[in-house]
Amino acid sequence: MPILEVKNLKKSFGGNQVFSDINISVNENQIYGIIGTNGAGKTTLFNIICGVFGPDSGQVIYKGQNILGKKPWELARMGIGRCFQTVMPFKSMTPYENARVARANAGKHSPGKELFTLDEIMELTDLKDKQNIPTQDLSLPDKKNVEIARALACNPDIVLFDEVSCGLSGEEIQARMALMKKLAAAGITVIVIEHIMVFIKEICDRVAVLHSGIVIAEGTPHDVSQNKHVIEAYLGGKEQ
């Protein structure tokens, strides 16, 4: 059953049309990948889903309700979480404080029914032994973990991750993949934008490929990687 559907989305910035007709359907508990070349509109799609700005036309349906027009904080309280490509935690606060503030602000719809305690979130995001260090003194990968911890503290039903593996080592990427799988196993729906194909192939149940304003392919990672439009448009004619 779909938890999130994007229907007939159109979006332009000035004269630059980013989407002419985007359609995506994400089922509950799936790990759903979104790929596409630079500038294909992946982050724009997340911004529209999260209420940062609206489309020119189309619909975003979350749990059966059209959510266009709702503010980002309203959507966070409805269970839509987001991790940004660039990290934006409160720098002077520790990881634990960042998570606590996020929970207090967005700790949503079902108080007392949080999926993870703050301690569990520190464990899940590998921050347990650093949870009392000011975030500004942590490494970039740890800061990214704080960003994930903040999203999880909001007790989301769905989390959108925008290139959270960017700049990480192979080992850190493996840890990130394991975390995504744990979130899905715990009942959270995960949508990831990633450029790293191994990441997409290993963890995603389904993938959508954005190109020239539309979804040129949708399916399992294997099916999508065999699709001739994808090979031509996204993989530069070479299968990966």
Ligand X SMILES: Nc1ncnc2c1ncn2[C@@H]1O[C@H](COP(=O)(O)OP(=O)(O)OP(=O)(O)O)[C@@H](O)[C@H]1O
- Binding region for ligand X (CB under 6 A): 13, 16, 18, 36, 38-44
CA 150 to CA 101: how far, in whole Å? 8
Q: Which is nearer to ligand X, 18 or 87 (CB)?
A: 18
Rounded to the nearest whole angstrom, what is the least distance from the CB of residue 103 to ligand X in the complex? 29
Alpha-carbon separation of residue 189 from 61, 82, 89, 176, 233 (angstroms): 15, 12, 22, 15, 28
Rounded to the nearest whole angstrom, what is the least distance from the CB of residue 22 to ligand X in the complex? 11
Rounded to the nearest whole angstrom, what is the least distance from the CB of residue 42 to ligand X in the complex? 4
Tokens 């700049």 appear where?
167
Rounded to the nearest whole angstrom, what is the least distance from the CB of residue 213 to ligand X in the complex? 10
Q: Which is nearer to ligand X, 45 or 99 (CB)?
A: 45
CA 7 to CA 127: how far, in whole Å? 38
Residues β-bridged to residue 89: none
Rounded to the nearest whole angstrom, what is the least distance from the CB of residue 164 to ligand X in the complex? 13
Q: Which is nearer to ligand X, 18 or 122 (CB)?
A: 18
Question: How many C-beta atoms lie closer than 10 Å to residue 216's C-beta?
Answer: 19
CA 151 to CA 71: how far, in whole Å? 16
